[in-house]
Amino acid sequence: MMVQKVDGAMKINFSGKRILVTGAGKGIGKEIVTLLAECGASVVAISRTQADLDNLRSELGCECIAADLSNADEARNAAEQAGDIDLLVNNAGISVPQSFLQTTPEAFDKTMAVNVRAALIVSQIVAQSMIERGGGAIVNVSSQASQVALADHAAYCASKGALDQLTRVMAVELGAHGIRVNAVNPTVTLTPMGEMAWGDPAKSAPMLAKIPLGKFAKPREVAHAVAYLLSDYASMVSGITLPVDGGFLAT
């Protein structure tokens, strides 16, 4: 990965790099794929929805793999099918809002399977390839919910806390192989789904009041943080959880 100077600014250039992005079909994942492609990367996209993959292939020329990452075997097969990967973004995630007392074992297990176990499995396979080729970088897309409790999100908060700790362990163990591992932790992000969930001012106002910048994140702002952590700009950055939250965690 090189850095080019364009019109007086520094621009990340991922030309010649193959980057695997999970949960690539919608929202933050699609924005990450779009930005990485704009930076010259060859993107391999994993999504469970074939129609979303077809759109990515048509719009950006991505290599596409359909897989349900809640299934351990499908997660493993998808990572193996991706082949040699230089950089990895574990973005796939789900949320099944339920109160603590009403959280079902089924919802808890599926949330952990997608949000944590899939990142573990995909990273294990990709990291082996990175080790053979001398290094790489991995970014896990976590959430501010890893550090702040949200009502009706017991399983989700637990999964993102686990993902943050998995990130740290990966950084400790993979650093000796030249592999950096970090996480980004966005606040509410205005994907189409996020806009639907938080479009009601009565619901959004209390959350916005806790964000010093007074706004929710845009998908492109999260994608910029991911690209930075993947790039050589972050060559000495590993094992961190980077808030993309407008100062929420500082309050």
| Residues labelled as active-site residues | 156, 160
Nearest Cα residue to 145 out of 169, 128, 162:
162
- Across the chain, how many H-helices and E-strands are there? 9, 9
**Cα Rg, the chain, nearest whole Å:** 17
Alpha carbons 237 and 182: distance in angstroms, whole number: 8
Pair of tokens at residue 244: 């993309």
Alpha carbons 165 and 149: distance in angstroms, whole number: 16
Pair of tokens at residue 210: 């806790």
Alpha carbons 17 and 84: distance in angstroms, whole number: 10
| C-beta of residue 162 within 8 angstroms of C-beta of residue 112 | yes
* Distant-in-sequence, close-in-space partners of 212: CB < 8 Å, separation ≥ 6: 246, 247, 248, 250, 251
